[in-house]
Amino acid sequence: MASRKPAPGKGRVSKGSPKSGRTRKRASQGGGGWLLRGLGAAGIAIGFAFGLGLAQWVLEIDRVVVERFEGRRFSVPSRVYSAPLIVYPGTDWQRVDLSGWLLRLGYRQQPEGGQLLPGRYEWLPGRLRVHLRAFDHPLRPELARELEFRLAGGLIDKIEDARTGATVDVVVLEPEPVSAFLGEDREQRDLIKIESVPNHLIGAIFAVEDKRFEQHHGIDLQRVVGALMANLKAGRVAQGASTLTQQLVKNFFLTPERTLSRKLREAAMALIVEARYTKREILQAYLNEIYLGQRGSTQVHGVGEGARLYFGKSVSNLTVAESALIAAIIQSPNRISPHRRPELAQARRNLVIDLMFEQNRISPRHHQAALDEPIRLAAISRESGQSRYFLDALSQQLPDVYDTDVLRTEGLRIYSTLDPRIQRSAARALRSGLERIEAQLPEPADPAAPLQGCLLAMRPQTGEVLALVGGRDYGASQWNRCVHARRQVGSVFKPFVYVAALEPGSGPQVTLADFLDDAPLELETPSSPEPWRPENYDHEFRGPVSVREALERSLNVPAVRLGQRVGIARVASIAQALGVSSPLPLVPSLALGTAEVAPIEIARAYATLANGGRRPTPRMFVDVVEPGGLATENRPLQGSVPVLDPGAAYLAVSLLEGVVDRGTAVRVRAEGMRGPIAGKTGTTDDEFDLWFVGFTPELVAVVWVGFDDPAPVGLPSSRGALPIWTDFMREVVGVRVRGQFLRPSGVEPLEIDPETGALALAGCPRRSEEVFLRGTGPEQTCPAEAVAGQEEKPGFFRRTFGRLLGRRP
């Protein structure tokens, strides 16, 4: 019988056999190698995955960095500037607020004995010396120059160049920053190029924030170790180690929370930024990004805007001490604010100056001079909320290419027509006037729906809007009543009826010597089965009244009669030609102002009269300048469009002067105002809307008062809107108005008998001067019999048709 082979693994080997040990060892080695090989493969896979994830993380960070650095780094709100202040010999320097202009623009009092540097001024007995800064504008640049204003009797008597002694006829002063189109973050910055930054400002920032900026690669390990030791010793976070690059990264890309992951991301981004960009590019971005404090609710970022906030000057003009102060407050701008904590700010400024000296960044002489220099801060000019109404109207007038996003991000410079002094006067006059009216009301107004108003001032020759206050409080209501509120205009519309009758285009219907019948009148209207019976304000009738008296006393019935004679369609056409763009209903009551029109339209129409029949276009800006200095939108001062005979316009102005001298607006004279002033009151039914429009040769201003939800105010316009206008004009132009309304060659003055309208010849007992379009004077003369005291009996024709023609029999 054949023997069997042992089954595998079942050979007869003793436990102590060497073979058995070797067999177990080989088995053991085979199993452990497999495990090590498995672990190694897993480690490689894990490492690969980690490396891949890290690479993706780094690439994502790199993408974010590149997009921000090579795209639009900063959102720069477009800044709006006022119209420049123009002064000349004869200017009332107190009325134009020359001293206030110096403060608002950041000019500072010159210390005794020092050199008068740009941006400094010095008040001397009877003189003002000021070193004007250069004003950079692509169309109207002004060089820096030192001027001396000689003052006498409240006026500028003479202007001289302080260096040459040459007489200066006119000085155009730098426009004031008015406001800005801020984004949701409400950040304001003035972008600068690093070439314009003085070395001592860069040195001051290096000295206190990152003295090895030029040596490290984004992270300063030496500073990290030093900060760690200092913090361990203090038992708290007493010292930071962030470089300028890390600060930039934190502000550019990251949120402010303090976590390990954010610190790692900050470090990685700092290394990438340093690897991709030059130190010069990094520093310029930092100088434009760093937070430096608040101007009201607006955040100030960058050294360019910071220099203007604290010192009212461009960054290139900072002194060593001023640069040190800006560097000093970077650590905590609100805690170290020199406006709120001047002692703390000065102590830290001096620390920075000492560090600059210790690091050999300034000389011993500059070190001591900087320590000795007192802190001189510019006055903080906070934005007035009332200018927001103007800003809203401006944004709507800008070309469509400048949409909201562009205005908030592209850093445009918009040169507006706003006169800050006139704007402040308008806001004060409207606010105090509304409060005065409310004090006279029998019951207080609902606080949720208070009495409202608006005031708009315009230059009639150019249409430039110099002031616009669209309500009593922008914070409570942004509705711009000057531009958008269409309200019944009442009697301020009546002059358009008279202009339609005086205009010679279709043959004048009346002259200023004619009479209109103030007697009961009935008119059929398609909207009512009953005839319309217009009445005067006092419900009285006066019989025949002169054209001049009818408008001066704002009589309704004569205006309606004249409107019917001329034709309502003709009246509407004239109003539209003058500048009214709202729909005008062709009904008899249009003559009394039942149409709803916006105040800016009324201002334009009256400006056309004041401008000799040439219609201006209301405008809020002149130039738009893009960051590169290119004036992409330029609207130079252009002539207005002729729409009305100059003679007819002058006759209308003469009528409106009479309203102020003898009529419903005589309160203007009672308040002491003298000189050429014309105007018209307007009060709608039940005193829902109070209007006054008045003008001088150089300024048109319209005031409206009422409730947003129409309700009786309880006063006529002569006691409501007119006093607001008078307060405003007294503050803006004074009690004595300069200039005159120029009479065109097509108008001639003639003496007439005011009782009959006849031409007054020698010996006529009653005579007054009246103006006429040339060749339209009275045909009848004051009779010689009247001189002898005998009354002339009217002839048959005049007795029969006198009333029909509107002439007194």
Is the pLDDT assigned to residue 419 strictly greater than 90? yes
Per-residue pLDDT at 51: 67
CA distance 90 to 158: 8
Question: What secondary structure letter does DSSP report for 192?
Answer: -
The pairing of beta strand 79-81 with beta strand 85-87: unpaired
**Whose CA is closest to 191, among 69, 316, 289?**
289
Tell me, yes or no, whether 210 lies in a domain. yes
Residue 197 pLDDT class (50, 70, 90 cuts): very high
CA distance 766 to 748: 20
CA distances from 448 to 120, 431, 708 (A): 47, 17, 11
Domain shared by 570 and 685, yes or no: yes
- Partnered with residue 180 across adjacent β-strands are 79
Q: Which CATH number goes with the domain that contains 126?
A: 3.30.2060.10
Domain shared by 140 and 232, yes or no: no
CA distance 690 to 700: 17
Residues 6 or more apart whose CB falls under 8 angstroms from that of 665 comprise 659, 679, 680, 681, 692, 694, 718, 722
Domain shared by 545 and 633, yes or no: yes
Domain shared by 663 and 759, yes or no: no
Tell me, yes or no, whether 385 lies in a domain. no
Residue 277 pLDDT class (50, 70, 90 cuts): confident
Tell me, yes or no, whether 446 lies in a domain. no
Per-residue pLDDT at 402: 79
Average per-residue pLDDT for the chain: 85
For residue 536, the enclosing domain spans 465-469+480-692
Is the pLDDT assigned to residue 259 strictly greater than 70? no
Is the pLDDT assigned to residue 12 strictly greater than 50? no
**Whose CA is closest to 218, among 160, 273, 149, 290?**
273
CA distance 655 to 625: 44
Higher per-residue confidence, 626 vs 665: 665
Per-residue pLDDT at 31: 52
Per-residue pLDDT at 16: 45
Q: How far apart are the first and last CA of the chain?
A: 171
**Whose CA is closest to 453, among 694, 711, 689?**
689
Dihedral in degrees, nearest 10, Cα atoms 560, 561, 567, 573 = -40
Cβ pair 465, 483 in contact under 8 A: no
Cβ pair 331, 178 in contact under 8 A: no
Residue 728 pLDDT class (50, 70, 90 cuts): very high
Domain shared by 678 and 541, yes or no: yes
Cβ pair 782, 754 in contact under 8 A: no
Per-residue pLDDT at 181: 81
Domain shared by 154 and 234, yes or no: no
Task: Annotate 70-84 with DSSP letters as a single string.
Answer: HS----B--EEEPPP
Residues 6 or more apart whose CB falls under 8 angstroms from that of 403 comprise none
Residue 360 CB coordination number (10 Å): 8
Domain shared by 528 and 638, yes or no: yes
**Whose CA is closest to 94, among 518, 421, 315?**
421
Is the pLDDT assigned to residue 35 strictly greater than 70? no
Tell me, yes or no, whether 25 lies in a domain. no
Higher per-residue confidence, 157 vs 402: 157
Q: ∠507-511-512 over CA atoms, to 5°?
A: 155
337, 372, 407 - which closes a domain: 372
Per-residue pLDDT at 552: 97
**Where on the phi/psi map is residue 83: left (φ > 0), alpha (ψ -120 to 50), or beta?**
beta
Per-residue pLDDT at 219: 84
Per-residue pLDDT at 90: 92
Is the pLDDT assigned to residue 147 strictly greater than 70? yes
Cβ pair 175, 82 in contact under 8 A: yes
Residue 800 pLDDT class (50, 70, 90 cuts): very low
Tell me, yes or no, whether 797 lies in a domain. yes
Is the pLDDT assigned to residue 72 strictly greater than 60? no
692, 709, 737 - which closes a domain: 692
Higher per-residue confidence, 687 vs 227: 687
Structure tokens at 207: 């000295």
CA distance 676 to 697: 7
Question: What secondary structure letter does DSSP report for 415?
Answer: E
Is the pLDDT assigned to residue 155 strictly greater than 80? yes
Q: Of the segments 42-51, 230-239, 769-778, which one has the largest average pLDDT value?
A: 769-778
Domain shared by 350 and 491, yes or no: no
Considering Cα of 313, then 314, then 317, then 320, what sign does the dihedral take? positive
CA distance 141 to 137: 5
Residue 222 pLDDT class (50, 70, 90 cuts): confident
Cα 464 → chain centroid: 13
Region 157-171 average pLDDT = 94
Region 405-417 average pLDDT = 86
Is the pLDDT assigned to residue 360 strictly greater than 50? yes
Reported as a single tens digit per residue, the pLDDT across 91-112 is 999 999 999 999 888 888 887 7
Cβ pair 78, 411 in contact under 8 A: yes
Region 16-34 average pLDDT = 48
Is the pLDDT assigned to residue 143 strictly greater than 50? yes
Is the pLDDT assigned to residue 251 strictly greater than 50? yes
Residues 6 or more apart whose CB falls under 8 angstroms from that of 20 comprise 13, 14
Is the pLDDT assigned to residue 583 strictly greater than 50? yes
State how many domains the chain has.
Answer: 4
Per-residue pLDDT at 283: 92
Domain shared by 148 and 201, yes or no: no
Q: Which CATH number goes with the domain that contains 593?
A: 3.40.710.10
CA distance 383 to 404: 20
Question: What secondary structure letter does DSSP report for 739?
Answer: S
Per-residue pLDDT at 696: 98
Reported as a single tens digit per residue, the pLDDT across 293-304 is 988 778 899 999
Catalytic residue among 491, 546, 654, 717: 491
338, 372, 406 - which closes a domain: 372
Tell me, yes or no, whether 249 lies in a domain. yes
Structure tokens at 458: 């315009």
CA distances from 706 to 33, 434, 680 (A): 96, 10, 17
Per-residue pLDDT at 78: 87
Phi and psi at residue 771, in whole multiples of 5°? -110, 145
Q: Which CATH number goes with the domain that contains 277?
A: 1.10.3810.10
Catalytic residue among 148, 176, 187, 209: 209
Domain shared by 233 and 301, yes or no: yes
Alpha helices in 342-383 (DSSP H): 342-358, 364-372
Higher per-residue confidence, 448 vs 202: 202
Is the pLDDT assigned to residue 510 strictly greater than 70? yes
Tell me, yes or no, whether 413 lies in a domain. no
Region 466-481 average pLDDT = 93
Count how many Cα atoms sit within 13 Å of the Cα of residue 473 in the half-sphere of its side chain. Answer: 10
Per-residue pLDDT at 569: 95
Task: Annotate 18-49 with DSSP letters as a single string.
Answer: HHHHHHHHHHHHHHHHHHHHHHHHHHHHHHHH
Is the pLDDT assigned to residue 268 strictly greater than 90? no
Q: What percent of the chain has a predicted confidence (pLDDT) above 70?
A: 81
Per-residue pLDDT at 76: 84
CA distances from 161 to 89, 99, 154, 158 (A): 14, 19, 21, 10
Is the pLDDT assigned to residue 388 strictly greater than 50? yes
Tell me, yes or no, whether 221 lies in a domain. yes
Does the active-site annotation cover 209?
Answer: yes
Higher per-residue confidence, 252 vs 303: 303
Higher per-residue confidence, 44 vs 717: 717
Higher per-residue confidence, 309 vs 797: 309
Per-residue pLDDT at 23: 46
Per-residue pLDDT at 152: 94
In this structure, of 33-47, 217-231, 358-372, the range with the lowest mean pLDDT score is 33-47
Domain shared by 648 and 509, yes or no: yes
Reported as a single tens digit per residue, the pLDDT across 667-720 is 999 999 999 999 999 999 999 999 999 999 999 999 999 999 999 999 999 999
Per-residue pLDDT at 70: 66
Per-residue pLDDT at 57: 63
Per-residue pLDDT at 808: 38
Reported as a single tens digit per residue, the pLDDT across 609-633 is 999 999 999 999 888 888 776 666 6
Cβ pair 273, 69 in contact under 8 A: yes
Return the exposure string of 714-727: e unless at least 16 CB atoms fall within 10 Å of the residue's CB, then b: bbbbbbbbbbbbbb
- Partnered with residue 621 across adjacent β-strands are 416
Residues 6 or more apart whose CB falls under 8 angstroms from that of 285 comprise 69, 73, 248, 252
Residue 411 pLDDT class (50, 70, 90 cuts): confident
Reported as a single tens digit per residue, the pLDDT across 298-355 is 889 999 999 988 988 889 989 999 999 999 999 999 999 999 999 999 999 999 999 9
Domain shared by 137 and 227, yes or no: no
Rounded to two decimals, the pTM is: 0.81
Per-residue pLDDT at 235: 60
Region 485-494 average pLDDT = 97
Region 117-122 average pLDDT = 88
Residue 136 pLDDT class (50, 70, 90 cuts): confident
Residue 807 pLDDT class (50, 70, 90 cuts): very low
The 3 state secondary structure assigned to 745-774 is CCEEEEEECCCCCCECCCCCCCCEEEEEEC
**Where on the phi/psi map is residue 152: left (φ > 0), alpha (ψ -120 to 50), or beta?**
beta
Dihedral in degrees, nearest 10, Cα atoms 582, 588, 591, 595 = -30
